[in-house]
Amino acid sequence: MLKWLIGALIGALSLAAQPSWGETPVDWSEARRVDLAAVEYSFAPNHLTFRRDQPYRLHVENHGRETHELTAADFFKSVQLRNPEVLNQDRTELVLQPGDKKDLYFVAPQPGHYDMRCADHDWAGMTGEITVE
């Protein structure tokens, strides 16, 4: 009986402790939606501000006629991602074909300033900044 109880307890604890690499569990139902649109050749808005430790759902739409990326390697590395699979394999950018809509859920634990750009069109001024405060 005791052995069964301990087994059940360990099972329940490991189910509760889902998050990877020792991070605090996040209540993603509290995620605040922030919208970002890409066109030729800019982001709207081109400055994003997030509060640290607040879960966000960054909703990105490509309203242009070309493929655009939201390239922000340092930012993506610094945050806790709920769904890293929406990023490219290197986790450096979100790639959006024309008409694509993608949602990235994250929590930023670290205040700071981060660069964002479209890797294909930064030469045309398709750049911006992310602030975590």
Within 8 A by CB and 6+ apart from 110, the residues are 52, 78, 132
Residue 68 sits in the site that holds Cu ion (CB under 5 A):
yes
Q: Considering the complex, what minimum distance in angstroms separates the CB of residue 97 from Cu ion?
A: 11
- Give the integer Cα–Cα distance in Å for 108 and 14: 25
By CB under 5 A, the count of residues binding Cu ion is: 5
In a 10 Å sphere around its CB, with 0-12 CB exposed, 13-18 middle and 19+ buried, how is residue 77 labelled?
Answer: exposed
Q: Is 117 in the site for Cu ion (CB under 5 A)?
A: no
Q: Is 82 in the site for Cu ion (CB under 5 A)?
A: no
By beta-carbon proximity to Cu ion, the closer residue of 107 and 118 is: 118
Q: Does 118 bind Cu ion (CB under 5 A)?
A: yes
The amino acid at 55: P
The residues of the shown chain that bind Cu ion, judged by CB under 5 A, are: 68, 118, 120-121, 126
